[in-house]
């Protein structure tokens, strides 16, 4: 029982099916969100540790169940009595009244082999331990499920970061291509004497700054991909291309769950299981006040003599052989233990009170997270719509600026300002899109539906 209760503090756990689809995708390096999550559930270090926790828990359950099974023991010993013990007898026994006699008793060599067996007939602590063993299996499964949810949330956020950073880099490279074309055209105009050389220099400075910015984003993208590879077990040398989502498209409306009771969430159910285990712990300590009854059996075979004739046949041996056997009932009645069991019971009650406080706090926190997720998904979508419109306007201004600059209507400063505004708008859209995707994850988590990402 004690081994099972100790495991209450070891929240973590679990064996899962390995998605075949994720394994097949590794051949070409193209991964959807579902495939990435499938690999993460297979290779993530926390999942692997959870697998080991499940195995450890199964062995602890076996340890508890063993107490209800028959217990068998065997013993054997060989003794050489170098000096036989002395027995003091009154003289009346030896025909010399008024004196005492010393008589050595026993034989020099004694051999004994025995086997004993016992079976619990009534032991309330063992029976309660079996109940706790069954309850602990549910606890380990819930721990595994919670670990999977945490891994899915973590890896999905990495997936969105990589995907959106990748889109952001593509947008900047597109802007760079347009800027390079402007540099080429202005260089021709400088050669023809139509514009000043300073205009070309300013364009090249803007081009260099944008290249530096794009290089920084590219380096960040490589680091994000490597982190994603680490958590999914993809070799670092393998190139990764993400698919399944188009960052340029506006995400659809999120469907809200019909049932949003926080008591159905895994983190809350885990506290329920923990509370049940502590209640069984208290019951187990109370069981210590009950008497126990066990069936016992024993058989022994002995050989004694003054010569070491153990390797001779019975006909040539001087040893005397005999055996004995017994069966019985063993009753143990606890009377007084110095209030040890009472102290253990009071500790279990305190544990239960702590779990009840955790449940109240967790219920409030989960409700708060649900409310915040609903608010965040709404505001982030509004922000994303605004940023999408902002990009469209910035692109329109930039295109018009390019046209009017080539016609000599506007100045280079206006064109550079339009290019900067477009870059800022694209970065703002990427940031808003990432925030929206992360808000989706938080909403799914608050509804207990984050595992739906694996099965989409």
What single string gives the DSSP state of each residue in 203-233?
HHHHHHHHHHHHHHHHHHHHHHHHHHHHHHT
DSSP 293: E
Number of residues in the chain: 456
Q: Tens place of pLDDT for every residue, the chain, 456 residues?
A: 444 333 433 333 333 333 333 344 444 578 999 999 999 999 998 988 888 888 888 888 888 889 889 999 999 999 999 988 888 888 777 777 878 888 888 899 999 999 999 999 999 988 888 888 888 888 988 999 999 999 999 999 999 999 999 988 988 898 898 888 888 888 888 888 777 888 889 889 988 999 999 999 999 999 999 999 999 999 999 988 887 777 777 676 666 665 568 889 999 999 999 999 999 999 999 999 999 999 999 999 998 988 888 888 877 888 888 999 999 999 999 999 999 999 999 999 999 999 999 999 999 999 999 999 999 999 999 999 999 999 999 999 988 988 888 777 888 888 888 988 998 999 999 999 999 999 999 999 999 999 999 986
**Sheet (strand 71-80) strand order:** 71-80, 109-122, 292-305, 320-332
Contact 321, 305 (CB under 8 A): no
Confidence (pLDDT) at 80: 92
Nearest Cα neighbor of 241 from 179, 163, 311 is: 163
Contact 130, 108 (CB under 8 A): no
**Is the overall model pTM greater than 0.85, yes or no?**
no
Contact 155, 289 (CB under 8 A): no
Cα–Cα distance for residue pair 2/4, rounded to 1 Å:
5
Cα–Cα distance for residue pair 100/84, rounded to 1 Å:
18
Cα–Cα distance for residue pair 358/230, rounded to 1 Å:
34
DSSP 311: T
Phi, psi of 87 (to 5 degrees): -115, 130
Where would I find the beta strands (DSSP E) of 283-365?
A: 292-305, 320-332
Confidence (pLDDT) at 254: 65
Cα–Cα distance for residue pair 101/88, rounded to 1 Å:
6
CATH of domain 2-73+124-291+337-455: 1.20.1600.10
Q: What are the residues facing 73 on neighbouring strands? A: 116
Cα–Cα distance for residue pair 248/238, rounded to 1 Å:
26
């Amino acid at each position: 029982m004690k081994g099972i209760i100790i495991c209450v503090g070891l929240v973590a756990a679990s064996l899962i099916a390995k998605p075949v689809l994720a394994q097949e995708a590794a051949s070409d390096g193209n991964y959807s969100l579902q495939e990435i999550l499938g690999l993460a559930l297979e290779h993530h270090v926390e999942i692997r540790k959870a697998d080991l926790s499940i195995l450890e828990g199964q062995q602890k359950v076996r340890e508890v169940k063993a107490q209800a099974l028959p217990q068998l023991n065997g013993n054997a010993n060989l003794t050489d009595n170098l000096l036989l013990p002395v027995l003091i007898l009154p003289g009346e026994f030896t025909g010399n009244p008024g004196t005492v006699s010393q008589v050595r008793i026993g034989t020099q060599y004694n051999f004994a082999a025995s086997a004993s067996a016992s079976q619990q007939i009534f032991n309330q602590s063992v029976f309660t331990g079996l109940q706790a063993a069954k309850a602990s299996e549910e606890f380990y499964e819930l721990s595994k499920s919670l670990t999977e949810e945490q891994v899915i949330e973590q890896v999905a956020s990495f997936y969105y970061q990589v995907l959106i950073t990748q889109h952001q880099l593509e947008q900047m490279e597109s802007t760079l291509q347009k800027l390079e074309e402007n540099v080429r055209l202005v260089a021709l105009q400088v050669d023809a004497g139509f514009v000043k050389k300073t205009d070309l220099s300013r364009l090249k400075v803007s081009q260099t700054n944008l290249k530096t910015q794009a290089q920084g984003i590219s380096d960040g993208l490589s680091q994000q991909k490597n982190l994603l590879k680490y958590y999914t077990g993809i070799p670092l040398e393998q190139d990764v291309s993400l698919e399944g989502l188009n960052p340029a498209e506006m995400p659809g409306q999120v469907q809200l769950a019909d049932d949003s009771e926080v008591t159905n969430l895994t983190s809350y159910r885990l506290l329920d299981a923990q509370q049940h285990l502590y209640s069984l712990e208290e019951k187990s300590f109370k069981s210590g006040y009950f008497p126990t009854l066990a069936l016992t059996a024993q058989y022994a075979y002995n050989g004694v003599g003054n010569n070491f004739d153990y390797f001779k046949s019975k006909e040539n041996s001087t040893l005397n052989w005999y055996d004995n056997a017994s069966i019985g009932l063993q009753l143990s009645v606890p009377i007084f233990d110095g209030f040890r069991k009472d102290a253990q019971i009071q500790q279990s009650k305190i544990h239960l009170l702590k779990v009840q406080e955790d449940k109240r706090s967790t219920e409030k926190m989960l409700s708060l997270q649900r409310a915040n997720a609903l608010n965040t998904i709404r505001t982030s979508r509004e922000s994303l719509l605004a940023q999408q419109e902002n990009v469209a306007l910035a692109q329109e201004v930039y295109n018009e600026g390019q046209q009017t600059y080539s016609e000599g209507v506007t100045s280079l400063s206006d064109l550079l300002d339009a290019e900067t505004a477009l870059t800022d708008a694209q970065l703002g859209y990427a940031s808003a899109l990432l925030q929206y995707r992360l808000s989706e994850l938080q909403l799914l988590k608050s509804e207990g539906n984050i595992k739906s990402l694996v099965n989409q």
